[in-house]
Chain A
C-alpha cells in the first residue's frame, strides 16, 4: 500500500516550469559571477582586452552564433510540432538541433586546438609573457567558453533523452512539460552565448 499510493501522485506542469526557471536563474548567476570578473578586468585593462580580442577569429564566432540561434529556433519549433501531434516533424527538428549543436562543438574544438597550437593557453610559456590584461582575457576566454561548452554537452544529453521520449510517446501534446523545460535549458545556453559573443569576439 505504501508504494504507488494514489494520494501521493501529483502532477503540476506550471510548478515544473517554475522550478525550471528557478534553475535557469542559478545558471544565469553562475555565469553572472564570470561576467562580473570580466567586467572588473575589462575596466582595469581595457587596452589589453582590445588587443587580445583581435587574436580571436570573429568569423568562427559569428558562425557559431548563427548555428546556436538556428538550433534555438528548431527546438522551439519542435514544441509546436508536438502540440500539433506531428511526432515525425518534432523528431526531425530535435535531430537538427542536435546536429547543429555538434557542429558548434566541432567548431569550438578547432578554435581551441588552433589557439593551443599557437601556444596560447593558461599555464603556457607564451601566455606568461603576454601583457597581464591579455593573459586574463585569454584565461576568461577559455574559462567562459569552456563552461559554456560543458552546458552545450549537458543540453545535448537532455535533448537526446527527450528525442527518445517523443519517439515512444511519453512526451506528447498532453504531457509536453519535459520538452518545454529541455527547450528552456537550450535557450539558456543560447542566451549566455549571445552575451559571450560580443564580449569576447567583437570588442576589437
Chain B
C-alpha cells in the first residue's frame, strides 16, 4: 500500500505495526481494510469485465466474423455479464464505500459483526474463483447469458453448473453484507443520532441491505434448482417433464430486478453526500430523499415482471407490472429534483467528484427516462431484447452506478489513503470517460429502435454505422479509464501530496477524522445533535 511517510499515515489503519502484511490484510476484521480489499478485487474484476466488453465491441465493429466465432462470442458476453453483475456492480458501492464509511458516518468503530464481514469478503473471493474457473473447467465456458434462462441453461453442453453455483456463493456473500449493515444501522448509531439525523448514504445502504437480504435467497434456491435440473432431471423448468420455463423467469427476476436497486441505491446515496458538500448548502428535502430510498426498495421489489412482457404472461400480469413500473419511477424523479434544487442558491465549487456527480445526474436521467419507454407496454413490445435495452441498462448501471462509484472514489480517496491525487489529470480523465461513454452507448439506442436484437454475434449491414461508432466509443472510454487508474494508483503513489483532514469542506463525520483514519476511527464516540448538512 501507500508508503507511510507522514505522521497521519503512521497512526492510521494502514500501518501494519510490524505484522506480516499479507496476514494483516487478508485476515483483518477492520471494516476499512475490508473495504479496501473489496476495492482492489472489484477494481480487478472491473478491468477483466471491461476487457471482455472491449473484445465484444471489436467483434461487432463490422458485420461478419472479425476476431471470434459465434460460440466464443456467446461465451464472452456471458462471462462479461457474470463478472460485471455478480462481481462488480452488486457488491460495488455498498461493499467498498459502505464497508469503509458506513460505521464512520454513523459514529461507530466497526460494523456489528466484523468477523462475518471478513467472511463475506472471503466468500466473495471463493465465488469469484468458481466463476472464473467455470470458464476453463469442464465442458467449455457457459454460453447462456448471465440470465441462465431455462430450458437453454439446462440443455446446453457448457459448464453451467459451476457458473450457477458461483452465483449462489456470491449471493450468500451479498446476504451477509446486507445483514451486517442492517444490524449496524439499527444498533450502532452514535448517541443522539436518530434516524432522521443519519446521513443519507447510510439511509440508502440500509434500504439496499434489506433488498440484499430479502431478494437474494429466492435466486439462490432457483440456482440450486438449475443445478438439480442438470444433474438429476427434476424437471421444474423442463417442459418435456411438465415444468414451466416461465416459472424460472419469475423466480429469476424476483431477485434480479431488485438487484438493479441494489446497484443504484447506494449510488444515489453517494451522490446525495457529494452535492451538499460542493454546493455548501443543506440537502434539499432530507426526509423525501431518505424515504424515497425505502419507497424504491419496497415498490422495486414487485416490478420484476416487466422483464417478461413478451414472454407469454397473462394480460393481467402485464398491465399490473407495467403500472407498478411507472409508479417506481416517481421516487427516482423526486431524488433528481431534490439534487438539482440543492444546487439552487448554493455556493458551488466544481471539483472532480462534483463533475462526476453532474455527469451521473445527466446519464441517470437518460437511463431512467428510457426506462419509461421499456416500462410502457406498447413500446416494450418493439424494444424488448434489442440493443436499446443494452443501452438503457448501461446508462443506468455504468452511467449511474459506475459514475457514482468514480465520484465516490475521487471524493473519499484522500480520506481513505491520506493522499491527494492530481486533480487536473483527474478532470482530463473525466472528460475522456464521459465522451467515450456516450459515444459507446448512445448509438445502441438508435440501432435498438431500428430493430437490432441483443446478444447477436453478427448483424445485418444496416446497423453497421451504429456499431462502428459504438466501438470507437469503447476505445475512447477504455483510454479514459486507464488514465484515471494511472492517476489514482501510480501517479499519486509517487507524487501525491498529503491529504488534509477535510479537503472539500464537508460536514459529515468522516471529515472530523484524520486522513486516513485511525484503526478505531474515533478516540471518543461523538454525540450527534443535528444531521450533517447544516452549512
Contacts and interface: CB of A to CB of B under 8 A. Distances in A.
Direct contact, A vs B (beta carbon within 8 Å) = yes
A165 B243 CA distance: 47
Contact of A18 (B109, B183, B233, B520): B183
Contact of A135 (B19, B116, B220, B241): B241
Interface in A1-46: 1-2, 5, 7-8, 10, 12, 14-16, 18-19, 22-23, 25-27, 29-34, 36-37, 40-41, 44-45
Interface majority SS on B: helix, strand, loop or mixed? helix
Interface string A89-128: 0000000000000000000000000000000001100001
B236 interface: yes
A38 B228 CA distance: 16
A67 B74 CA distance: 51
A78 to B, nearest CB: 24
Nearest to A14: B187
B17 A1 contact: yes
A147 B188 CA distance: 35
A33 B228 CA distance: 15
Contacts of B247: 37, 40
Contacts of B449: none
Interface stretch (A55-63, A136-144, A167-175, A194-202): A136-144
Nearest to A1: B17
Contacts of B109: 7-8, 10
A132 interface: yes
Interface residues of B, number: 42
Interface of B: 17, 19, 109-110, 112-114, 116, 175, 179-180, 182-183, 186-188, 213-214, 216-218, 220-222, 224-225, 228, 232-236, 241-244, 247, 250-251, 254, 519-520
A30 B233 contact: no
Nearest to B251: A33
* Interface size class, chain A: 35 or more
A122 B233 contact: yes
Interface of A: 1-2, 5, 7-8, 10, 12, 14-16, 18-19, 22-23, 25-27, 29-34, 36-37, 40-41, 44-45, 122-123, 128, 132-133, 135-136, 139-140, 142-143, 147
B236 to A, nearest CB: 6
Contacts of B116: 19
A70 to B, nearest CB: 28
B271 to A, nearest CB: 27
Contacts of B213: 22, 25-26
What 7 pairs across the A-B complex have the smallest Cβ distances?
Answer: A132-B242, A33-B221, A139-B234, A15-B187, A30-B217, A29-B217, A122-B232
Given A26-B175, A26-B213, A136-B236, A143 B225 contact: yes
A123 B254 CA distance: 28
15 contacts: A2-B519, A7-B520, A8-B109, A12-B187, A16-B113, A26-B179, A26-B214, A33-B218, A33-B225, A41-B242, A122-B232, A122-B235, A128-B241, A140-B236, A142-B234
A19 B217 contact: no
B110 A8 contact: yes
Given A30-B221, A33-B251, A23 B233 contact: no
Nearest to B18: A2
A33 B226 CA distance: 13
Given A10-B110, A29-B214, A37-B225, A5 B244 contact: no
A147 B232 CA distance: 14
Contacts of B242: 41, 45, 132-133, 135-136
A10 B19 CA distance: 24
Nearest to A27: B217
Contact of B228 (A1, A14, A25, A143): A143
B17 to A, nearest CB: 5
A14 B112 CA distance: 11
A44 to B, nearest CB: 8
Contacts of B232: 122-123, 142
Contacts of A22: 179, 182-183, 213
B221 to A, nearest CB: 4
B516 to A, nearest CB: 14
Contacts of B251: 33, 36-37
B225 A29 contact: no
A33 B236 contact: no
